[in-house]
Every structure is written in C-alpha cells, then in structure tokens.
Chains A and B, each alone.
Chain A
C-alpha cells in the first residue's frame, strides 16, 4: 500500500498540478489561435510576467503588514490577473493590432510574438536580474499530510497549499469558461468567430470586441498559471519559457482552437510526463520475488532530464492517429 500512496503522490498529484498549469496556458494559446489564427509564442512569457506581477503585489501586501490565512501570492492573484489582462490588451494594441491592420499573415504575427518574448524576458531581467525568487521568503508554504486509514500504511498523501489551490481554481476556471462559451452571447460570438471569422463579421458580430475579450481571458489565465507555477516551484525570468513547448503540444494535441481540447491536452501531457518519469520499480518491488527477472533500481520510461520529450512523443502519436487533434481543431 505504501507504494501505491507513493505512486499517488508522485504521479496523480504531480500530474494534476502540471496538467492544471499546462491546461491554463493551453487555453490561452488555443483561444488566440482560434480567433487571431496565429501561434502566440510569447504566451509562456506572459505567464512569467503574471508571476512577477503577483510577486510584486504580494511583496507590497506583506510590506504593508497584511497577513492572510492562505498564501499571499494567491490572495493577490485576482488583482494580478486584472493587471495582466490590461497588459495583454496593451501588447495586442502595441504589437499585433498594427500588423493585423496591415493584413499581415499569421507567420508575421508569430515572428512578432517571438519579438514580444524577447522584450518581456529582457524587461524582467532588467528589473529582477536572472536569479530566482520565492513567494515564501517571509511565510511558510503549508504542507498537507493526509493519513490513510488502512493498516500497514505509514506513508501519507502529501500536497502543498499552493498545489491544492491550483487544482481547485483550475477546476473553477474550466467550469466558468464552459459557462461563458456556451451561455453568454459574447462567449458564443467567440466560438462563432473561431469557427468562421468572415461569417462572424457579416453577421454584424463586433469582432474587435471579441478580440479584446480573447486577450483578457488569455492574459488573465496566463497570469494565473504563471503565479501558480511560481508558487509551486520558484520564480525566475525563464520560468514559463521553458514549458511553452509542452503547452503548445497540449493545445495542438487537443485540437487548435478547441478550448476543451486544450484542457484535455494539458492534463494528458501533464499525466504522461509524470507517468513517464515515475520509477516503476517502486511499484513492482513488493512482488520482486515473483518476477522472472532482477528488478533494476530505476525503471522509469525516461529519465527526469528528458521529461520534455514526452510531450513531443504524445504529440507525434496523436497527430498520426488524428491529424487535427483529439477534439478536431483547425488544421492550419
């Protein structure tokens, strides 16, 4: 049983956490692709930027002597998300909107977003250096240990407060997004524009408003994902740049332009990564006498350092089986 709990801690909990972060990032990428038809490469850096906004707000709140029952970084998150949404609108207005107005092709916008990546990373490094920061300088990161009421079980189910908050808030976001996209007029207009932008325009749908809403959602969710990631590990200028590729893989696996696909893709890749680096020897150890071979010490599918490759293997397999993604997204 202890082995199963270890499996639960390292695969299920970590997979949920990783999947939540990937899903939140992939939703933004898939929405932007659906509405504006370009791969927003700077999305990882919008996540990092969001993490730093929360970090500054948390520092200000702590300096003001305010304490809260949950992590300060989480308390300031709603405000940080608003700021991030405004910045996302600014980035669109400053960099992408002028290109769209001139009828730029998607590849031009993709290159522009690489430029935005460099700008955001440069600005962060300019003000914060290249070191790493933690939200838990002055407060402790709460750890939950749940006893399992079974005989012979000594291990506990472990997770941290940020991890719990992250999974719960991601679930809330997914429900809220679903209600927005299926119940509200603007949400339906977003789906309509993603489906057929020309028809949306001739129907009289305010496409500029839809674009703004897309950036507000993408920017605020990126901030949420970045803050969560920074709360879970630590904050550094290349925090989310390093995971932008698996996030893209999640969006593509789910089907570009499909919000539910992005969520499914995020969790699929999150779990695939934690399963692939899990040391299966630990689960097999109790039955080692029955096995016809000697159990090696480490029996992971890939070593931890190569975790990133898992996303691409999943991507290749899914695209071979279903070229437009699980939820049949756009093919271009």
Chain B
C-alpha cells in the first residue's frame, strides 16, 4: 500500500478543471518529483491533496485512509505537511516562533523535534531570535521546511523549494531534502529545476495539461529522449 495514492483526480477552482485525472503514488522511502510546463497543474496537485481546492472526482488516500477534500487541520495531525511556494514563512515572527507554529497541532513536548530541525539547519539555530522576514531567501526556505517538519510528518510536500534561489542555495536545499528523506520522511515536490530534481528522485511524474504524460524513476525519465526533448529543454544529458 502506498503512503499516498492520488488516483484519477479531477480538480479546479470552480471553472474548467485544472487537473484532469492525475495519478501519483509515493512510498514512505520515496522522493517524488513532479515536473512539467507552466500551467500543467503541478502546484495544483499539491494544493488538491492539501484540501486547498475542491476535488470533484477521483480519490486521494493517505496510508489507506480516504483524505479527499480534507482540510489541513485534519491532515497535519495525520502526518502530512505542505510548504507553499510563496509567502511560506511568518515574516513578523521569529524563526523559533515559526517552528513552534508548525507544531501547533501537537500536544506533546516538541523540544526534541526542534533540536532535530536546528541540527539539520544549523544557521536557523543562530538566527532563532530574529524575525523570519529579515532572513535571506535560502534561509527563509529552511525556516519554511523546518516549520513543516515540526509536526513530524510522514510526507512532506514542497512547492518549488528552489524557486528564486541562487544556484549555491539550490544545491544546498536539494541536499537538505535528501537528508530529510533519509531521516524517514517521504517527499513529494514540484520543481522547475527539473533535471537537478529528477536526478535525486526515486519517482518522477511529468504532468502536462492536468494529466500524467510520463511516469517512472527519476533516472528513467532523465534517460527518456522523449521527456528530454519535450519537457527538459533539449537533448538528454545522458
């Protein structure tokens, strides 16, 4: 049984659907990467999972439980976390307060999780008393991921974690994502830096027009000349 199984999902904002039957399955050990052209429905897929827009057909199950159209206050305690692409930190709250907000649904002591996050992103420990709004783009992205990890999720969904970052930070963020995954958290992310992201993906999904075009391991997709030509901008790197 997959950790998350998105099956034939149709969803939109009331008008014509943006997703026309998307299928995604992720296991606990996976890093899943969704790539595709603008308007393919990549971010929309994550939002549909997180209950931020209406799913009109299909089903979403999380470790066997039906979660279609569930709201975040149910999903977060179940073990799902989501980092939006933009405005993903509380700018006027300190770094530490941002992390605390990620643990809002937890009733137990979360000090050890906070330490774990600080060990993963040591720069955040240094800046924990600073308002998150004063941090650089890359550091903010770490705060956003740290916040999402505070609920001890089993699945972390990231919407373009490398967007707007300098190449140095892109690499660093990807390294962190692999580290989080090694710690036992499944990852499902949307990425524009398709080649780099697929290189570390155990599952890759190419979406276009709200539907799956190609599905495979990251390596398979990178090696596929069709995928490379249509979606990765040029010849296969292999």
Residues of A201-218 at the interface with B, using a CB-CB cut-off of 8 Å, are: 201-207
Tell me which of A192, A199, A201 contacts B87 (CB under 8 A).
A199
Give the distance in Å from the alpha carbon of A200 to the alpha carbon of B101 in the complex: 8
Q: Is the CB of A188 within 8 A of B82?
A: no
Nearest B residue to A203 by beta-carbon distance? B101
Give the distance in Å from the alpha carbon of A206 to the alpha carbon of B104 in the complex: 8
Nearest B residue to A206 by beta-carbon distance? B73
Q: Is the CB of B104 within 8 A of A185?
A: yes
**Is residue B91 within 8 Å, beta carbon to beta carbon, of the partner chain?**
yes
CB-CB under 8 A for A204 and B87, given A185-B100, A195-B92: no
What's the interface size class on B, roughly? 20 to 34
SS class of chain A's interface: helix, strand, loop or mixed?
helix
Min C-beta distance of A198 to chain B, whole Å: 7
Residues of B118-160 at the interface with A, using a CB-CB cut-off of 8 Å, are: 147-148, 151
5 chain-A/chain-B pairs, Cβ below 8 angstroms: A188-B93, A188-B97, A200-B101, A202-B52, A204-B76
The digit string for A169-204, where 1 denotes a CB below 8 A from any CB of B, is 000000000000000010011011001101111111
Nearest A residue to B150 by beta-carbon distance? A203
Give the distance in Å from the alpha carbon of A185 to the alpha carbon of B148 in the complex: 17
Tell me which of A191, A201, A204 contacts B93 (CB under 8 A).
A191
Tell me which of B91, B92, B147 contacts A203 (CB under 8 A).
B147
Min C-beta distance of B47 to chain A, whole Å: 9
Q: Is the CB of A204 within 8 A of B89?
A: no
Tell me which of B72, B90, B105, B151 contacts A195 (CB under 8 A).
B90
CB-CB under 8 A for A191 and B92, given A185-B100, A199-B84, A203-B102: yes
Min C-beta distance of B204 to chain A, whole Å: 25
**Is residue B21 within 8 Å, beta carbon to beta carbon, of the partner chain?**
no
**Is residue B88 within 8 Å, beta carbon to beta carbon, of the partner chain?**
yes
Q: Is the CB of B84 within 8 A of A198?
A: yes
Q: Is the CB of A191 within 8 A of B50?
A: no
Q: Is the CB of A204 within 8 A of B105?
A: yes
- What 7 pairs across the A-B complex have the smallest Cβ distances? A204-B76, A204-B105, A195-B90, A205-B104, A192-B90, A195-B92, A192-B101
What's the interface size class on A, roughly? 10 to 19
Min C-beta distance of B74 to chain A, whole Å: 9
Min C-beta distance of A258 to chain B, whole Å: 9
Give the distance in Å from the alpha carbon of A297 to the alpha carbon of B76 in the complex: 70
Q: A189-B104, A200-B101, A204-B104 are in contact. List 11 more A-B contacts (CB 8 A).
A: A188-B93, A188-B100, A189-B101, A192-B93, A195-B91, A198-B87, A202-B72, A203-B72, A203-B148, A205-B73, A207-B73
Q: Is the CB of A204 within 8 A of B147?
A: no
Min C-beta distance of A186 to chain B, whole Å: 9
Nearest A residue to B52 by beta-carbon distance? A202
**Is residue B77 within 8 Å, beta carbon to beta carbon, of the partner chain?**
yes
Give the distance in Å from the alpha carbon of A196 to the alpha carbon of B133 in the complex: 12
Residues of A within 8 A of B73 (CB): 201, 204-207
The CB with the most chain B CB atoms within 10 A, among A185, A192, A200, A204, is that of A204
Q: Is the CB of B97 within 8 A of A192?
A: yes
Nearest A residue to B82 by beta-carbon distance? A202
